[in-house]
């Protein structure tokens, strides 16, 4: 069996302090929606390899909140936010890394149906400033995004969604 590793396109917007991420999946929009809104599934794929994620709060509805902690090698990283819009084709939420509590991003995820059981994920993180955006980009988030999406690919292939 041949495994194809697909990297996400991660781009810094030059006009506003935003990061754009695009990635195709061999999954339906409904499957990707579940992966992003069901806490048991989300915890299995989010973030870099060798991180254990514990969901502390999760209310995936308009106005709901979320919080999780990722742990590795005795280090702990906590994240939190609020769900603003929860629809099968679109999620809008805030995102805060608790180690940088003043840096709140507004994230929009859109699931584009490509047909044939394929979906393109479009994600935009709008940060408070170019400094916050650049800090996000230099944090190693590309590793977490790509390793996390590879784990999500495996969950999809295993039929977990």
Q: How far is CA 128 from CA 19, 38, 104, 106, in A?
A: 12, 28, 7, 9
> Distance between CA 25 and CA 38 in Å, rounded?
18
Contact call for residues 49 and 33 (beta carbons, < 8 A): no
> Distance between CA 74 and CA 155 in Å, rounded?
26
Q: What is the mean pLDDT of the chain?
A: 94
Contact call for residues 32 and 26 (beta carbons, < 8 A): no
Q: Which residue has the tokens 């069996």?
A: 1
Per-residue pLDDT of the chain (161 residues; tens, 9 = 90+): 334 557 999 999 999 999 999 999 999 999 999 999 999 999 999 999 999 999 999 999 999 999 999 999 999 999 999 999 999 999 999 999 999 888 899 999 999 999 999 999 999 999 999 999 999 999 889 999 999 999 999 999 999 88
The token pair that represents 10 in the structure block: 């991660």
Q: Which residue has the tokens 């209310």?
A: 59
> Distance between CA 41 and CA 46 in Å, rounded?
9
Q: What is the CATH number of domain 35-109+132-161?
A: 3.30.530.20
What is the per-residue pLDDT for 2? 38
């Amino acid at each position: 069996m041949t495994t194809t590793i697909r990297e996400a396109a991660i781009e810094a917007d030059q006009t506003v302090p935003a990061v754009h991420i695009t990635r195709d999946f061999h999954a339906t929009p409904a499957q990707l929606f579940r992966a992003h809104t069901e806490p048991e599934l989300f915890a299995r794929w989010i973030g870099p390899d060798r991180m254990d994620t514990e969901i502390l709060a999760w209310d995936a509805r308009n106005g709901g909140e979320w919080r999780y902690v990722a742990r590795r090698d005795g280090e702990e990283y906590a994240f939190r936010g609020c769900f603003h819009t929860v629809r099968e084709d679109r999620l809008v939420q805030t995102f805060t890394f608790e180690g940088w509590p003043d840096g709140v991003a507004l994230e929009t995820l859109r699931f584009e149906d490509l047909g044939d059981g394929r979906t393109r994920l479009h994600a935009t993180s709008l940060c408070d400033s170019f400094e916050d955006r650049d800090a996000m980009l230099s944090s190693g988030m590309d590793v977490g995004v790509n390793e996390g999406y590879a784990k999500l690919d495996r969950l999809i292939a295993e039929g977990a969604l």
